[in-house]
């Protein structure tokens, strides 16, 4: 058996990978095969996430090519020092396309600080107001900037915009604050790691009605594929782990997280 292929899901269980980067060059050699594996594994829909101009164009092209792939367009905090005006014009022009379902990923990364924090903060504000104008939900990236992220979301009254904190790494209090603002919390593959005690505790306490699942592929590969390239098919390991932690049938986790993603991104 191919080590990349997990056990097949029950054919009636369908999942949505709410955050992948299928346009990244990591998939240039075998993108079609990766997408086919996801479909074969019951991954019903995939949101592929732009992080800059080139990636947004490619994400939208993929969304147009595959009926079950949707695109989010945005400027990642890593790229906040780049000129954003061309990208923001592109986003405005494409926002009406039915395959564009969110703005992002956007936010703050004070761990790597690949762009100056002032640029990250400015770009975050700009994209939140763009999302408000374009009436699209947002996908938030937050690494080592929990307090700042929540403060900006409150300041921009993000409650009216709606969205998801992707690859959630904050504490329960932050999760509750975001849920109070109407946001969803997205659980990544790291939940399958033995040493992810905080995340396990969080999954136990958070209501299933506010959870999404994601791979963040090609990054954050879940157990038992840790160390290899990630791909959307592996989102089922996230669902499995949530079911185990919450002591629920996988079917229930699949149904709820799929419904949550459909509602947030208004997927058909």
Residues that bind Ni ion (CB under 5 A): 216
Q: CB of 238: closest distance to Ni ion in angstroms?
A: 14
Q: How far is the CB of 49 from Ni ion (least distance, A)?
A: 5
d(CA 62, CA 24): 11
Q: What are phi and psi of 81, to 5 degrees?
A: -80, -15
Which of 52, 182 has the CB closer to Ni ion? 52
Q: Which residue is nearest to Ni ion (CB)?
A: 216
Structure tokens at 253: 């986790």
Q: Are 160 and 132 in contact (CB under 8 A)?
A: yes
Closest approach of Cβ 217 to Ni ion, in Å? 9
Sheet of strand 211-213, all strands in order from the earlier edge strand to the far edge: 15-20, 43-49, 69-73, 100-109, 138-143, 163-165, 184-187, 211-213
Q: Which is nearer to Ni ion, 23 or 216 (CB)?
A: 216
**Nearer of residues 48 and 260 to Ni ion, judged by Cβ:** 48
Distances (CA, A) of 51 to 56, 201, 261: 7, 30, 20
Supply the minimum distance, in Å, between the C-beta of residue 84 and Ni ion: 18
Q: Output 13 or 17, the one with its CB closest to Ni ion.
A: 17
Q: How far is the CB of 251 from Ni ion (least distance, A)?
A: 27
- Chain-centroid distance of CA 122 in Å reads 22
- Cβ closest to Ni ion, residue 20 vs residue 239: 20
Nearer to Ni ion, 162 or 188 (CB): 188
**Distance in Å, CB of 19 to Ni ion, minimum:** 6
SS3 20: strand
Say which residues have a Cβ less than 8 Å from residue 63's Cβ, sequence separation at least 6: 48, 69, 70, 71, 99, 100
Kindly state the smallest distance separating residue 220's Cβ from Ni ion, in Å.
9
- DSSP per-residue letters across 110-168: TTT-SS-HHHHHHHHHHHHHHHHHHT--EEEEEES-HHHHHHHHHHTTGGGT-EEESS-
> Measured from the CB atom, is 164 or 181 closer to Ni ion?
164
């Amino acid at each position: 058996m191919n080590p990349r292929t997990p056990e097949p899901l029950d054919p009636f269980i369908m999942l949505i990978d709410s955050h992948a980067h299928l346009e990244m060059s990591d998939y240039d050699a075998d993108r079609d095969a990766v997408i086919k594996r996801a479909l074969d594994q019951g991954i019903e829909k995939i949101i592929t996430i732009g992080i800059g101009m080139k990636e947004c164009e490619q994400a939208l092209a993929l969304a147009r090519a595959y009926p079950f792939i949707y695109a989010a367009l945005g400027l990642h905090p890593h790229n906040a020092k780049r000129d954003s005006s061309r990208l923001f014009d592109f986003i405005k022009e494409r926002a009406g396309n039915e395959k564009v379902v969110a703005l992002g990923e956007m936010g703050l990364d004070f761990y790597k600080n690949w762009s100056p924090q002032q640029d990250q903060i400015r770009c975050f504000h700009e994209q939140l107001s763009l999302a408000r104008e374009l009436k699209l939900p947002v996908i938030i990236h937050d690494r080592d900037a929990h307090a700042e992220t929540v403060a900006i979301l409150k300041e921009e009254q993000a409650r009216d915009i709606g969205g998801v904190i992707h690859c959630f790494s904050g504490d329960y209090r932050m999760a509750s604050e975001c849920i109070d603002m109407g946001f969803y919390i997205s659980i990544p593959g790291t939940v399958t790691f033995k040493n992810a005690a905080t995340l396990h505790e969080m999954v136990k306490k958070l209501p299933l009605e506010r959870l999404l699942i994601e791979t963040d592929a090609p990054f954050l590969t879940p157990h038992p594929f840790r160390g290899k390239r990630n791909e959307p098919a592996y989102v089922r390991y996230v669902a499995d782990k949530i079911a185990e932690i919450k002591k629920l049938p996988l079917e229930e986790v699949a149904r709820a997280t799929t419904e949550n993603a459909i509602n947030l991104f208004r997927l058909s």
